[in-house]
Structure 1
Amino acid sequence: MPMPTEERVSQLVAGLVERRGFDLEDVAITAAGRSQTRVKIVVDNDSGVDLDEIAALSFEVSEVFDEAEDFGETEYLLEVTTPGIDRPLTAPRHWRRARGRKVQVTLRSGAPTPENSDRFDARVGAATETEVALVLGGKRKPHRVTVPLADIDRAVVQVEFSPPGAAEMELAGGVAPGRPEPGATEAQESVAASTEGIVE
């Protein structure tokens, strides 16, 4: 029996994820060898996620899979994780959680360009449901502008290998609660727990 679709897996886990206080960010199903399937569930919340919370959620998701008849006897590897550092920012909550992070922004065609270019790097400041403050100029000449979220075509968090400047971080309003400081260790930010099993 084939694995259920990503949409079906989302339906199976959405209520549990929400009750645990998380947002379900993504579900991906891929082959993991000849006879095994990988089910990856990506979750996040505004206060950050630790390994114990992820492990508990992974256990509960496994129980949901065990009870579902959709899986038959399919062997699977379940991975419950948080978004990686290079995640795109596509919703207002993503911008809130990325405060203090460096992002590469691409504006939609025709949008006003604060840096005389429709593609630029900036540090994320405070965000609302409709707009975001961006700190431009880097360490040397930091200054803040406000950009409507509707004007942003794409934005991706960038990996940083050195700490940002104090002035740009002050303009950004610091790092969002529960998130690590930008710098050399942030490439390891994602938190994950894995479970293997055969659903019977």
Structure 2
Amino acid sequence: MGAQAREERIAELLEPVLAKAGLELEAVELTPAGKKRVLRVIVDSDDGVDLDTIGEATQDVDGALESSDVMGELPYNLEVSSPGVSRPLTQPRHWRRNRGRLVKAALAEGGEVTGRITGADDQGVTLEIEGQPRTFAHAELAQGRVQVEFRRDTDADAAD
């Protein structure tokens, strides 16, 4: 079985297990690491993912994998984590979960915009760009990336 087919089988096995815990499966990555393999399971939810949630999800995922033959005989290390800020925003849920964050978004027709997500739903995304709201349909956005901010203006205002 190829790596992609195995990843698809793993995803089919884990999606309902994670859904019971209120989590969505964002990605499954199976990569070789010496004589073992590393299985990365990326999870997320509208409420965010904290360390306790990751710990519980790891136990649920491990139990599901152990009761199945999907991983075969070769040993593997399991890593369960949240997506982090480097994940591209491509789905409506990604935009929704990053409300309030500064993003740089590629436009489907070319070019890009940078703004703060002030609203997001299944129809589109509203960005505050230079103080003005601008709404985009999801089809107008190729993808977005969260921009790392070390100090927001509102943080500076709160410190005064």
Q: Residue 19 of structure 2 aligns to which amino acid in structure 1? A: E
Contact 1:90 1:155 in 2 (8 A): yes
- CA distance in 1 between counterparts of 2:99 and 2:145 reads 13
Q: Which runs of 5+ in 2 are unaligned?
A: 155-160
Q: Residue 35 of structure 1 aligns to which amino acid in structure 2? A: K
Candidates 110, 118, 127, aligned match of 2:120 = 127
Deviation of 1:73 after TM superposition, in Å, equals 2.6
- CA distance in 1 between counterparts of 2:123 and 2:10 reads 31
Superposed CA offset, 1:25-52 (max 9, x none): 11111112x2110100111111111111
- CA distance in 1 between counterparts of 2:2 and 2:141 reads 39
User: What is the TM-score with the length of structure 2 in the denominator?
Assistant: 0.88
- CA distance in 2 between counterparts of 1:68 and 1:58 reads 15
Greater fraction of residues in helix: 2
- CA distance in 2 between counterparts of 1:72 and 1:47 reads 34
Superposed CA offset, 1:95-125 (max 9, x none): 1111011111111127xxxxxxx21211111
Superposed CA offset, 1:63-119 (max 9, x none): 111111233332111111101112111111111111011111111127xxxxxxx21
Q: Pick 1 or 2: higher relative contact order, CA cutoff 8 A, min separation 6.
A: 1
- CA distance in 2 between counterparts of 1:73 and 1:13 reads 19
SS in structure 1 opposite 2:41? strand
- CA distance in 1 between counterparts of 2:142 and 2:61 reads 34
Distance of aligned partners of 1:101 and 1:35 in 2 relative to their CA distance in 1, 3 Å threshold: same
Q: Percent identity?
A: 37
Superposition misfits of 4+ residues, deviation over 4 angstroms: 1-4
Contact 1:86 1:159 in 2 (8 A): no
Q: Which runs of 5+ in 1 are unaligned?
A: 111-117, 167-200
Q: Which residue of 2 aligns with 1:171?
A: none
Q: How do residues 88-103 of structure 1 correspond to structure 2 at under 5 angstroms?
A: 88-103=88-103
- CA distance in 2 between counterparts of 1:78 and 1:152 reads 34
Q: Which residue of 2 aligns with 1:184?
A: none
Greater fraction of residues in strand: 2
Superposed CA offset, 1:8-36 (max 9, x none): 1101111101111011111111112x211
- CA distance in 2 between counterparts of 1:152 and 1:25 reads 20
Contact 2:126 2:134 in 1 (8 A): yes
